[in-house]
Homo-oligomer: A and B are copies of this chain.
Amino acid sequence: MAHKIAILGASGYTGAELVRLISQHPGLEIVALSADRKAGMEMAQVFPHLRHLALPTLCKINEIDFSQVDLCFCALPHKTSQQVISALPDTLKIVDLSADFRLRDPADYEAWYGNPHAAPELQKEAVYGLTEFYRAEIAAARLVAGTGCNAAAGQFALRPLIAAGVIDLDDIILDLKCAVSGAGRSLKEGLLHAELSEGYNAYAVGGSHRHLGEFDQEFSTIAGRPVQIQFTPHLMPANRGILATAYVKGDAQEIYSTFAAAYADEPFLDLLPFGEVPSTHHVRGSNFCHIGVSADRIEGRTIIIAALDNLTKGSSGQALQNANLMLGEDETTGLMMAPLFP
């Protein structure tokens, strides 16, 4: 019998992506979809690409009978999420896609997000949802916090190296290029086609992007001492995809071996042959992350490039991967579709 699934905040891109993925999952059934301002509408009106699916009508959160729900995906905006989740039954399994439970330390949360956390107890309970590095905890968790999409890409490119101590921890640069759907379906001038298409620019330059909170937390934890990286995101004229280019000091072959060992059994983390470079084209719409390692002409410098789809592996695909673990399903179920190219 299928696990019963609710999705809160189904009218955004990550909500729609969850529906797309779950529609191919044999073990899950969507029983509720919420979207406060669009309650009463059909999903087909909000996302016509899903019109072939039989889906519940969009409702308000308080109209959902959570006693009939096995797991709830929460795709609400930051800050709203912590309030809503606080009010949900404390036995309900939850995968949160917002930023609200990614940082474990309330002081860190306040520093990066500018307000005190409204549910510090839940914050303590939440498990960081980077599946490949928190598998056991996620399988046992009630509340899992999905990572930032940039944070996921950056960690896939750097975590094993920091853990293995094969790179200089004080000189890590992450130049990241993110497609526009990472900013969601919000009405901002900078997200208009005419403002984005055919051009590109950096943003949050110099260390103000909130995903740095996750990098600091995770890299410092595994290094056992404070680690701060440089991180410059760029907005790219494309709808899906993150390309993370990391510049590190360390031996390229040793770095390659470290990845090869760390990711040998990973179904979704795919290390390319040494010297090959990944492209966002080759992961679009899929849950795969391609990772390439190249030596620089300067001795002791290495470039690592990771490519993933921000809406899939960077967000909703990761969420489903975590949900599979939490529900006792095979981790890869519903996630092995091939990328869409061209």
Contacts and interface: CB of A to CB of B under 8 A. Distances in A.
B270 A194 contact: no
A191 B194 contact: yes
18 contacts: A13-B342, A20-B339, A24-B338, A49-B283, A49-B341, A52-B288, A173-B173, A177-B200, A180-B192, A193-B193, A198-B284, A199-B238, A199-B280, A199-B281, A200-B281, A205-B305, A206-B294, A232-B303
B243 A234 contact: yes
Instruction: Name the residue among A175, A177, A201, A212 with the largest chain B CB count within 10 angstroms.
Output: A201
A236 interface: yes
A230 interface: yes
Contacts of A241: 198-200
A217 to B, nearest CB: 15
Interface string A264-281: 000000101001011111
Contacts of A297: 206-208, 212, 228
Contact of A247 (B20, B49, B181, B247): B247
B245 A281 contact: no
Contacts of A177: 177, 200, 234
Interface string A313-342: 000000000000000000000001111111
A106 interface: no
A282 B13 contact: no
A51 B282 contact: yes
B49 A294 contact: no
B240 A202 contact: no
A285 B48 CA distance: 14
A283 B205 CA distance: 20
Nearest to A203: B277
Contact of A303 (B48, B206, B277): B206
A220 interface: no
Interface stretch (A78-86, A114-122, A182-190): A182-190
Interface in A17-73: 19-20, 23-24, 47-53
A254 interface: no
B47 A341 contact: yes
Contacts of A185: 189, 192, 194-195
